[in-house]
Amino acid sequence: MHFTIQRESLLKPLQLVAGVVERRQTLPVLSNVLIVINGQYLSLTGTDLEVELVAHVPLADPSMSEGEITVPAKKLMDICKSLPSESFIDIKLDDNKLILKSGRSRFSLSTLPATDFPNVEEIQDPLNFYLPQGLLRRLIEQTSFAMAQQDVRYYLNGMLLEVQANRLRAVTTDGHRLALCSLTTEIKDSLNAHQVIVPRKGILELVRLLNDQTSEVKIILGQHHVRATVGDFTFTSKLVDGKFPDYERVVPRGGDKLVIANRQALREALSRAAILSNEKYRGVRLLLDANLLKVQANNPDQEEAEEELVVEYSGSTLEISFNVGYLLDVLAVMSTEKVRLIFSDANSSALIQELDNDDSSYVIMPMRL
């Protein structure tokens, strides 16, 4: 195996592929990136057995020799990073060592056979559809913050994707809050709702690839895997095997206390009050009265903060408490000037939505202070 490539042509895809690779692995080969030369293409593959990312890079020089090998991903990336911009790298496999030469620099990397590298099984009974990258990115950004991180209820450590005819929905929850976003798109041949749970790492790696608003991404959903083809990258993730909670039952219906507030003003007031909230519980108290919202916070050091905000509200008085971080996370992903908050009573979850836009809904459970 022997080829020459410009530094930038190798570094950019290598950085994305290396992001999938876990540094601490039980199998040494999983710390490596698989390099394959086939025809006029170089392919780079990284995996942690849950998520796989393959980059296809066209080569300018057709006279190279084909082959395949695996090398330590981080070391190869760090070498490429350290070389001068616009430099060319000559890469050759010689006696089970990968030799890299660039200018007066020379590196020799250890290798493991490509046959040791795990293959992702073929996707069974796939459902295929295309959608704009910008739409999928928005769906993920509007909901991914509410995924659980290391919950024993493993099905919460990911994102539910629900596909129906002409609609794609994402739902996430960590048990204390829920984020839901539905977007209309051209998906045919899916009359019955098709649900899959994509693990947290898969979602975070996928969104890194979605940089072109208008270009399309091809999605393939199978029984055990989801695959996305984005430009020169092929992303594959195992699905979480579990039953996601019935999110429709969680969304509160019929709340009679409607508050309309300026999103940025509310966000700033909450951020200021949060400075003096309890560092562990991060609770703030909301007090609602006619066209007025008070935000109060205090901590074990007897310090207090109070903010007053003019809002549109004509219901009865209400006092309710929330984790301020949950409120700020929701307001951070919204884009409209005004938001609506719907409450029932001090013990019921709040529903937060953008004003005049029902695409996204956010549910936050109250807390006791």
Residue 261 confidence (pLDDT): 98
CA distances from 182 to 58, 162, 170, 326 (A): 37, 9, 7, 20
Give me the percent of the chain exceeding a pLDDT of 90.
87
Residue predicted with more confidence, 219 or 24: 219
Of residues 23 and 99, the one with the higher pLDDT is: 99
Question: What was the pLDDT predicted at 363?
Answer: 98
Nearest to 148 by CA among 123, 121, 176, 167: 176
Taking each helix axis as running N to C, give the angle between helix 133-143 and helix 200-209, from 0 to 180 degrees, rounded to the nearest 10.
Answer: 140
Amino acid occupying residue 291: N
Instruction: Single out the residue of 178, 175, 132, 120 nearest to residue 150, CA to CA.
Output: 175
Residue where the block lists tokens 């007031």: 269
3-class secondary-structure state, position 181: strand
Instruction: Round to whole Å and give the CA distance between 229 and 40.
Output: 20
CA separation for the pair 324, 332 (Å, rounded):
12
8 A C-beta contact, residue 240 and residue 158: yes
pLDDT band, very low/low/confident/very high, at 63 (cuts 50, 70, 90): low
- Residue 252: the pLDDT is 95
Cβ within 8 Å of residue 140, ≥6 positions away = 159, 170, 203, 206, 207, 210
* Nearest Cα to Cα of residue 236 among 48, 32, 97: 48
pLDDT beyond 60 at 191: no
Alpha helices in the chain (DSSP H): 7-20, 73-82, 133-143, 200-209, 247-250, 263-274, 324-333
Q: Assess whether pLDDT exceeds 70 at residue 189.
A: no
pLDDT tens digit string along 252-286? 998 999 999 999 999 999 999 999 999 999 999 99
pLDDT per position as a tens digit, 11-43 = 999 999 999 998 777 889 999 999 999 988 999
Q: Render pLDDT for 123-176 as a digit per residue (tens, 0 to 9).
A: 887 888 999 999 999 999 999 999 999 999 999 999 999 998 889 999 999 999
pLDDT at 190: 57
Residue 64 pLDDT exceeds 80: no
**Can you tell me the distance from the alpha carbon of 267 to that of 221, in angstroms, rounded to the nearest whole number?**
37
- 286, 270 in Cβ contact below 8 A? no
pLDDT, position 103: 95
Nearest to 124 by CA among 196, 177, 69: 196
Question: What CA–CA distance (Å, rounded) separates 296 from 280?
Answer: 16
Q: Which domains does the chain have, with CATH numbers?
A: 2-116 (3.10.150.10), 127-249 (3.10.150.10), 252-364 (3.10.150.10)
